[in-house]
């Protein structure tokens, strides 16, 4: 089993003593993306990533000082909404053993990241216009051959894969119908992942018992490959 999650645009570069340093899984492909980014002027980068001012300055500097930048572990370095809903402070060796074995991060610059993969500061999404079609560039299906895939990634990143997976959805009830609200879904994905980590869940059956924040498994709305939780 592998649980796929997305990276986040916000980062706080950190290392964790429970993680073993890992090298890139797709070094050659990563270098090609980085080379495409380095060819861009600051103006082109801003337009391609839809960023400006201080954020553009930082992103441009990160790219052009990439070779000399220090490295940190992937999993603890992301600070987006999904990651904020993980109780990281409570995780010890047993939790990080589960994280190392089962969690993989799909990424625009690196392809697939193990939790302990050493990465450098960057900002890049799959839809960025950098002179390279990232969806065509990343061919990562083979890495997951034979695995049961639990999808906790956003559509942007899970679309990197073209294989069967079990999707996890979180819906909110509004005006007598269930809808997907992005912010709440991100928070719920973090809490669900936290539940998996703390309870060392490795079966879909046990995943259905998740009931944090008033979410409950909704069997009528679910299918074999799409588990729906509602509140």
Bridging pattern class, strands 177-179 and 166-174: antiparallel
Confidence band for 23, pLDDT divided at 50, 70 and 90: very high
Q: What percent of the chain has pLDDT over 70?
A: 100
Q: How far apart are CA 156 and CA 182, in angstroms?
A: 13
Give Cα separations from 32 to 9, 39, 68, 140 (angstroms).
21, 11, 18, 15
Q: How far apart are CA 187 and CA 190, in angstroms?
A: 5
Check residue 182 and give its pLDDT: 95
Query: Can you tell me the mean pLDDT for 42-64?
Result: 98
pLDDT in tens, 139-195: 999 999 999 999 999 999 999 999 999 999 999 999 999 999 999 999 999 999 999
Confidence band for 20, pLDDT divided at 50, 70 and 90: very high
Check residue 39 and give its pLDDT: 98
Give the residue carrying structure tokens 């990343």.
138
Give Cα separations from 195 to 99, 188, 190, 210 (angstroms).
12, 10, 9, 7
Q: Report helix, strand or coil for 160.
A: coil
Q: How far apart are CA 149 and CA 170, in angstroms?
A: 17
Query: Can you tell me the mean pLDDT for 48-75?
Result: 98
Which residues, 6+ apart, have CB-to-CB distance to 19 below 8 Å? 73, 75, 76, 96, 99, 100, 115, 116
Rounded (5°) CA angle 196-144-169: 45
Contact yes or no for 4/151 (Cβ under 8 A): yes
Check residue 155 and give its pLDDT: 97
Q: How far apart are CA 205 and CA 22, in angstroms?
A: 31
Which token pair is 105? 């991060």
Assessment of whether the complete model's pTM goes beyond 0.95: yes
Confidence band for 199, pLDDT divided at 50, 70 and 90: very high
- Return the closest-CA partner of residue 153 out of 112, 92, 96: 112
Query: Can you tell me the mean pLDDT for 53-75?
Result: 98
Q: What is the mean pLDDT of the chain?
A: 97
Confidence band for 206, pLDDT divided at 50, 70 and 90: very high
């Amino acid at each position: 089993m592998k649980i796929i999650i997305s990276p986040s645009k916000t980062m706080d570069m950190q290392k964790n003593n429970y993680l073993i340093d890992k090298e890139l899984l797709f070094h050659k492909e990563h270098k090609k993306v980085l080379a495409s980014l380095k060819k861009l002027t600051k103006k082109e980068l801003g337009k391609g990533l839809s960023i400006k001012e201080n954020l553009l300055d930082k992103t441009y500097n990160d790219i052009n000082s990439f070779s000399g930048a220090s490295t940190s572990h992937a999993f603890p370095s992301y600070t987006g909404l999904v990651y904020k809903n993980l109780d990281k402070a409570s995780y010890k060796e047993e939790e990080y053993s589960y994280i190392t074995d089962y969690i993989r991060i799909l990424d625009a610059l690196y392809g697939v990241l193990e939790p302990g993969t050493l990465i450098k500061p960057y900002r890049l999404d799959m839809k960025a216009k950098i002179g390279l079609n990232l969806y065509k560039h990343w061919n990562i299906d083979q890495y997951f051959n034979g695995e049961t895939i639990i999808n906790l990634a956003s559509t942007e990143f899970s679309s990197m894969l073209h294989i069967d997976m079990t999707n996890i959805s979180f819906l909110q009830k509004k005006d007598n119908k269930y809808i997907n609200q992005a912010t709440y879904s991100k928070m719920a994905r973090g809490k669900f992942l936290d539940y998996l980590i703390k309870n060392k869940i490795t079966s879909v059956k046990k995943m259905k018992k998740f009931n944090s924040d008033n979410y409950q498994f909704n069997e009528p709305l679910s299918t074999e490959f799409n588990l729906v939780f509602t509140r």
